[in-house]
Chain A
Amino acid sequence: MSEQQFEPVIVGFLCNWCSYRAADLAGTSRTKYAPNMRAIRVMCSGRVDPQFVLKALREGADGVMIAGCHPGECHYVEGNIKALRRYVLLKRMLKQWGIEKERVQLVWASASEGNLLAEAVDRMTEEVRALGPLRWRQAVLGGNGHKPVETAEVEVEVEEV
């Protein structure tokens, strides 16, 4: 194992209308990109509860990508703007825990931008590969990982403007 190159696991939360379709299009156009991102479909990037991100990191993901429609193009008017606001707050918190900023990324990709999404996955995969495994329990708890982290402990205060 140790001699092999580290393959990060990235969870992608892709909005149904733009980014999920961008990933569909990347496939349909046979664009090849890193197989490291595993996609979960959400109706809108605005549905991405910060708890989803934390849950993914806690369960072993090395990185999380949130992808939605470009500002102004959200199917639900501006769910992506709400996602952006939450993302900014979430990043602040992750920083306090010493989690590198490359591990959680927000990407805009419209349904016609399969290439862009593929490139973002490639880029992020390399960035997270360079950082190495996350090892949440040590990173966040600083301990040996005996005590599982409950969602409630890491609940995020989200200001909505």
Chain B
Amino acid sequence: MSEKVGVYVCHCGTNIAGVVDVEEVSNWAGEQPNVVCSRDYKFMCSSLGQELIEEDIKEHGLTRIVVAACSPHMHEKTFRGATERGGLNPYLFEMANIREHNSWATTDKAAATHKAKALVNGAVERVVHHQPLEPIPVEINPATLVVGGGIAGISAALELADAGNHVYLVEREPSIGGHMAQLDKTFPTLDCSACILTPKMVDVEQHPNITLYSWSEVENISGYIGNFNVTVRKKARYVIEELCTGCGICEEKCPRKVVDEVFEAGLAQRKAIYTPFPQAVPKYPVLDPPNCTYFERGKCKACQILCPTGAIDFEQEDELLEFPVGNVILATGYDLFDSNRIPQYGYGHLANVFTSLEFERMVNASGPTDGKIVLRDGESVPQSVAIVHCVGSRDNNYHEYCSKVCCMYSLKFAHLVHERIPEAEVYNFYIDIRTPGKGYEEFYNRLLEEGTHFIRGRVADVTDAARLPGEEGKLIVQAEDTLIGKQRRIPVDMVILSAGMEARHDSQDVSLMFGMGCDFDGFFTERHPKLDPVATMTEGIFIAGACQGPKDIPDSVAQGAAAAARVAGLVNQETVMMEPVRASINKETCSGCRLCNDLCPYNAIVFHEDQKLSEVITALCQGCGTCVAACPSSAINGAHFTNEQVFSEIEGILWDVMEHQAVPA
């Protein structure tokens, strides 16, 4: 085989040329077999650089192109484009990464120049074996699945639906709304959370383009971008939605009360048949069998007897619904850090230590205390309140990261205490005050003026063991005030723990089901932390809101809209072109051992019993190459990563050591 390879060594200004002797590399490359033209150029990615390639292809009849420059993750697409414009198939191109992997990673000029030669040579030897490939067109189903109906999921669903696309919104709880529905006021503007959220929830309910499945979970998903198949488990509500008018009589008449650990954060009770809050969407209640007298003892049925439309159905069963979608947006949100994990803060054994979510419910006018700030006895009004920042955040024992919202909501809490109990003293214990956001620092300044005491230092513990006069019957918060370098003991009536945000307890399972990644903390991993924050490494799966990392409402809304825009873009295109990096099985050499069948993570390999042969379903294959590596008969070809290509690259990059291998020293 004789291919005509063109090699282009980029200076990247001084980024490469400052360390690698690019001229030397280019000259050397020009002497290698198959290379007919070799150049070095200041900026290969510039239009002039690209034109150089295009012209050389035409002039010298080049059949293969190698560019030695930055990472292929930066500019592979760019140079494939130039290769194509020059008249060659874009896959007849290979990149050697001599910047990120070389010139930026060492200061040793001789070593870097030597390594650059090896990398260039590897690319040259590989590219000779490249085959022309065609991208695979895939049709996009215009419907989208949004998982999680918090503010991020709601925003994404509405954006898409308003643009005329169908959305399936799947929410695990009886109502959409997420954490935002639990909040009272929202920082920094202090607008009432329900007032801004409820209209959005109603829009979701009424939108002709949104199918809402609440009290439901995704059970299974298969397929690939454009063509996913989703199975949703719609859990039995024991309420016939078509008949229910949402009048609430069942809930009113139900004799069974249970502590509401979810929506009311354990501060109030609900009935065995309930809607979590008055503005819930959808309005249909949910019956909770383990707590229902009828399910327990076979007697009661008060709700059924009294329901004016006969909507209660004790025989109802879970339903499995299947439907196709083209894209998925995950907006599953966060869990609040469990304050029980820090026993020295007293939560769970000191009655008047509250979590932030409990406090949110308490200050909420429609919450368990009608918005009154009171101690656990339900009556006494605290005269002093300590707010402990960074609970579970910025702490190597729990979460190293900053939860981003706790400083701001702690300031909001301080303000609400001042507002409702003007005579109360408020102490905020903080490590640093972090208020990066529009209007946030101004909000902090306002709190300074309101007379909040700010004490800089991580709280060591909260105790009821009085030692000094004035401490009896109080909770004593101990901390080192790092500004004055002294230990302080502040006696207060109430302590609020500003717990951080953490990934959902089941985020790992969710990420596995959707075939995308999550980081060590359990937050979903974006494709690029700066340039691609709502896409994931899996095509067709997007993320939005706090499931990606701690964030406040404005950021969650922005991500919801961004994810929707990404999906809408794909839907508009109608088809996407997929990388033709795919496996295929050679019928002649496949022995029918079936080893590969179970190996494929996408079940892309089928076995034909009649022919005793395996076959790859191209549309399902994602090109990982696992089967290629495992086939004992070498019957599987991994396009663009063939054995031949990799072997040649290995030989190429080892050009300098192969020699003394042959003649052992």
Assembly CA distance A137 to B625 (angstroms): 30
- Which residues of the partner chain B approach A38 to less than 8 Å between Cβ atoms? 115, 118-119, 122, 653-654
* CB-CB contacts below 8 Å: A109-124 with B: 110-112, 118
Of B100-108, B229-237, B272-280, B316-324, the one contacting chain A is B100-108
Assembly CA distance A145 to B538 (angstroms): 47
Q: Report the minimal beta-carbon distance from B665 to chain A, rounded to whole angstroms.
A: 8
Q: Do B664 and A52 touch across chains, with their CB atoms under 8 A apart?
A: no
Assembly CA distance A69 to B511 (angstroms): 15
Q: Does B71 contact A (CB under 8 A)?
A: yes
Known: A35-B111, A35-B115. A27 touches B653 (CB 8 A): no
- Which residues of the partner chain A approach B625 to less than 8 Å between Cβ atoms? 42-44, 46-47, 79
Q: Do B630 and A30 touch across chains, with their CB atoms under 8 A apart?
A: no
Q: Does B508 contact A (CB under 8 A)?
A: yes
CB-CB contacts of A54-86 with B at 8 A, as 1s and 0s? Answer: 011011111000000110111111110010001
Q: Do A60 and B658 touch across chains, with their CB atoms under 8 A apart?
A: yes
Assembly CA distance A82 to B596 (angstroms): 12
Assembly CA distance A124 to B647 (angstroms): 23
CB-CB contacts of B580-603 with A at 8 A, as 1s and 0s? Answer: 010000000000000100110110
Q: How many residues on A have C-beta within 8 angstroms of the other chain's C-beta atoms?
A: 65
Partner of B104, one of A28, A47, A79: A28
Known: A40-B649, A59-B651. A137 touches B104 (CB 8 A): no
- The majority secondary structure among interface residues of chain B is helix
Assembly CA distance A74 to B626 (angstroms): 12
Known: A49-B628, A55-B647, A145-B662. A60 touches B654 (CB 8 A): yes
Known: A9-B654, A52-B650. A158 touches B537 (CB 8 A): no
CB-CB contacts of B441-469 with A at 8 A, as 1s and 0s? Answer: 00000000000000000000000000000
CB-CB contacts of B624-665 with A at 8 A, as 1s and 0s? Answer: 111011101000001001010011011101101111111111
* CB-CB contacts below 8 Å: B69-112 with A: 71-73, 97, 99-108, 111-112
Q: Report the minimal beta-carbon distance from A49 to chain B, rounded to whole angstroms.
A: 4
Q: Do A136 and B661 touch across chains, with their CB atoms under 8 A apart?
A: yes
Assembly CA distance A78 to B598 (angstroms): 12
Known: A26-B105, A33-B106, A46-B629. A135 touches B664 (CB 8 A): yes
Known: A72-B508, A73-B525, A77-B512. A11 touches B111 (CB 8 A): no
Footprint of A on B, CB under 8 Å? 71-73, 97, 99-108, 111-112, 114-115, 118-119, 122, 508, 512, 515, 517-520, 525, 529, 537-538, 581, 595, 598-599, 601-602, 622-626, 628-630, 632, 638, 641, 643, 646-647, 649-651, 653-654, 656-665
Footprint of B on A, CB under 8 Å? 7, 9, 11, 17, 20-21, 23-28, 30-35, 38-44, 46-52, 55-56, 58-62, 69-70, 72-79, 82, 86, 110-112, 118, 133, 135-138, 144-145, 157-158, 160
